[in-house]
């Protein structure tokens, strides 16, 4: 799907428009020679939030001559980060496995042995401290 966006005084206006919709309003529009009020728009998927990121938002910007989605996030404060870690640790203490350890970078518990990557579905067996087929 080709997208375009309006430009006014060098600033992006409104939301991206599908090419087919533009053709309905401007049937003679030459997409090889766009008017100054219109430019191509590149849709960019939202990146996955990190464990200590919040408030993801998208802004339309012109970057290196290309109009596109630009994603921003806020980092958690040290207090928010600690509160999140403590909440996960509290929950894990009730429902998790004792052999798993907390990884601060992931803000999650990880098993002592990585999950097998052979296409099978495994479950954790705490008695054996290993992944087993159900």
pLDDT in tens, 7-54: 999 999 999 999 999 999 999 999 999 999 999 999 999 999 999 999
Cα 40 to Cα 21, 31, 48, 58, 85, distances in angstroms: 14, 9, 25, 17, 43
Give 58's pLDDT tier (boundaries 50, 70, 90): very high
Output the pLDDT for position 44.
Answer: 97
Output the pLDDT for position 87.
Answer: 98
- pTM of the full structure: 0.79
Output the pLDDT for position 23.
Answer: 96
Q: What is the mean pLDDT of residues 64-74?
A: 96
Q: What is the mean pLDDT of residues 112-122?
A: 97
Give 55's pLDDT tier (boundaries 50, 70, 90): very high
């Amino acid at each position: 799907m080709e997208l375009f966006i309006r430009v006014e005084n060098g600033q992006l206006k409104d939301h991206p428009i599908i090419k087919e919709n533009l053709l309905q309003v401007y049937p003679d529009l030459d997409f090889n020679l766009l008017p100054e009020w219109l430019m191509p728009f590149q849709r960019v998927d939202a990146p996955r939030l990190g464990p200590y990121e919040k408030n993801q938002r998208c802004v339309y910007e012109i970057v290196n001559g290309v109009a596109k989605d630009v994603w921003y996030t806020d980092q958690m404060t040290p207090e928010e980060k600690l509160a999140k870690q403590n909440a996960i640790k509290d929950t894990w203490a009730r429902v998790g496995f004792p052999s798993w350890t907390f990884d601060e970078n992931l803000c999650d518990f990880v098993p002592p042995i990585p999950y097998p990557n052979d296409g099978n579905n495994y479950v954790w067996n705490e008695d054996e401290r290993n992944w087993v087929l159900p």
